[in-house]
Structure 1
Amino acid sequence: MSSGVFSVDLSTTIGALQIGSLFAIFLFGIVTLQAYLYYDAFPEDRWTYKTLVAAVWILEAGHTSGVSYQVYHASITLYGKPNELVTFPALGAVTAIGGAITLLVQSFFALRLYRVLPKPYKYIGVVCFALSFIRCIASIYLTFQAVAARNVAQYNREWRWLVTSILVVGTAVDIVIAISMLWYLAEKRGQELLRISTVIDRLIGFTIRTGLLTSLAASTLLICFLTMPNNLIWLALYTFLAKLYSNSLYSALNSRQSMREAVSNSTGPSRAKVPRRDATGSSIGFGPHAISIEMKTSTTTIPDDSNPKTVRGYSF
């Protein structure tokens, strides 16, 4: 996959791809470390989460291999032949892989929205999942078109509208999920005791930090694609965008232990019991777009000075 006709300026074409690939490989290393930490910290986690972590890592390995091969082919195999840099089939092939990674991650957080938001707002999660699924199908279709394209100029003329649509939808889903969870956490903060509000403040900060990163990266990629279609800077950003999503997912899963400890400390070790799972056996995740809190029907009484107050239990 690539952009339209571009001048043979190595600094904004091959140079940009090389820098992007370095970031991609670096982030893949962090993805691998995060995956290892997950399996080490949560050996008894649900099989669905274990499968999700493994699937994302395998997809990332394929994505990184495709990016590395394309950069090698462009900078080594075609060294001294810049005029032959008219197609990038390997990068086109990993478009589908990137779409699959984005679908898995966004679906994870969309499900959290569906579970924690009240009606009718919970259906925001359904809409986000549907848009992400359509985006993935479009990415797969673009993969076939990019591999079969004879040159980037033809590809850009025919499919620029679809590439733009995919980038816009992905960015919109990121922003909607992040804003929805920030609204939810802000609402809950005003309803709880001071000590629980402190924990919610931590969740809000975590959501902003991680959600802002992926949202800004996706927005920057879209801006570069629309304003600089004749170079490969936007494509360099695309080479590591999927890895930001993967790291966000792994960070969400791995942060559960610290959040449990924060809840335990906020309520007092002798007064609150923080379970690993909710009533259905589901572990609760935190992430860049949706840091989820599952509400249980049981209550936990937390004495506050001489007046006991009751808050609903949080399960992490």
Structure 2
Amino acid sequence: MSPHTVGNTLGAVLIGSGFAAVLTGVVATQAVYYFQHYQDDKPSGKLMVAVVWFLDILHTIMVFVSDWLWLIDHFGDAGASGWIPWSLGVTVILTAVVTIIVHAFFVFRIYGLSRGNWFVVSPILILAAIRLGLASASCANMLKYGNFAKFVDNAAWMFTMGLVTSSVLDVVTTSCLLWYLDNARTGFAG
């Protein structure tokens, strides 16, 4: 493997891992702030924050396990950049689980703001379930093929559809929240 290839692949992975660690620090800061300032919240809210925080930490650990496997265990192995470590597949499913928890939280908010309108929240729940299914299938295929080229040839469409579904889900959820929050304004100045 030439140095140019290493810099463009594994170097980019290392930089991305650094950003993931920074974002995990941001999530940790937000979680600590939440637990310090919202002690009167319902136990279910506290549990959700704790679970998301734990899963985010676990996700970052899996990212660094992947880094270790690529950069340390397979140091000097020319084919290592094409190999998919098991821990990378785990990061995909962890991201999907965190995503569905967060979307469920927003669906609950939209359900309340819409006064129980299942017509509005059902498509969001269906999209969230599809997203989780696609991420699970992507993870399974990453573990099955163990190689990026084979994964791309046979199952990359699942991963791509999962990302597309997640993006559509974010737009729909945000649009619904904006719509209902705008219509719920009381007219009082803050």
Residue 56 of structure 2 aligns to a residue whose secondary structure is helix
Whole-angstrom CA distance in 1 between matches of 2:174 and 2:151: 33
Q: Residues 134 and 75 of structure 1: is their aligned pair in 2 closer, same or farther, counting only changes over 3 Å?
A: same
Structure 2 segments unaligned to the other structure (5+ residues): none
Shift of the alpha carbon at 1:51? 0.9
Give the letter aligned to residue 51 of structure 1.
L
**Does 2:30 correspond to 1:37?**
no
5 Å-filtered alignment, 1:243-282, equals 266=190
Residue 66 of structure 2 aligns to a residue whose secondary structure is helix
8 Å CA contact 2:107, 2:124 repeated in 1: yes
Shift of the alpha carbon at 1:118? 5.0
Question: In the alignment, which of 103, 106, 112 is matched to residue 103 of structure 2?
Answer: 106
Whole-angstrom CA distance in 2 between matches of 1:186 and 1:18: 42
Whole-angstrom CA distance in 1 between matches of 2:143 and 2:109: 36
**Does 2:39 correspond to 1:52?**
no
Residue 9 of structure 1 aligns to a residue whose secondary structure is helix
Whole-angstrom CA distance in 1 between matches of 2:42 and 2:146: 46
Shift of the alpha carbon at 1:76? 2.3
Deviations 1:66-92 (A, max 9, x none): 101111221222222232322222111
**Does 2:130 correspond to 1:143?**
no
Give the letter aligned to residue 112 of structure 1.
R
Residue 75 of structure 2 aligns to a residue whose secondary structure is coil
Q: Residues 119 and 55 of structure 1: is their aligned pair in 2 closer, same or farther, counting only changes over 3 Å?
A: closer
8 Å CA contact 1:95, 1:139 repeated in 2: yes
5 Å-filtered alignment, 1:79-98, equals 79-89=75-85, 90-98=87-95
8 Å CA contact 2:113, 2:181 repeated in 1: no
Q: Residues 185 and 44 of structure 1: is their aligned pair in 2 closer, same or farther, counting only changes over 3 Å?
A: closer
Q: Which moved more, 1:145-154 or 1:21-30?
A: 145-154
- Tell me the number of residue pairs that the alignment of Structure 1 and Structure 2 aligns: 186
8 Å CA contact 1:32, 1:57 repeated in 2: yes
Whole-angstrom CA distance in 2 between matches of 1:187 and 1:20: 40
Counterpart in the other structure of 2:166 = 170
**Does 2:5 correspond to 1:9?**
yes
Give the letter aligned to residue 113 of structure 2.
V
Structure 1 segments unaligned to the other structure (5+ residues): 1-7, 199-265, 267-316
TM-score by length of 1: 0.55
TM-score by length of 2: 0.89
Q: Give the fraction of aligned pairs with identical amino acids, expressed as a percent.
A: 27
8 Å CA contact 1:145, 1:155 repeated in 2: yes
Whole-angstrom CA distance in 1 between matches of 2:82 and 2:92: 17
Give the letter aligned to residue 53 of structure 1.
V
Whole-angstrom CA distance in 2 between matches of 1:58 and 1:188: 34
**Does 2:181 correspond to 1:185?**
yes
Higher relative contact order (CA 8 A, sep 6+): 1
8 Å CA contact 2:59, 2:95 repeated in 1: yes
Q: Which has the larger radius of gyration?
A: 1
Whole-angstrom CA distance in 2 between matches of 1:123 and 1:49: 25
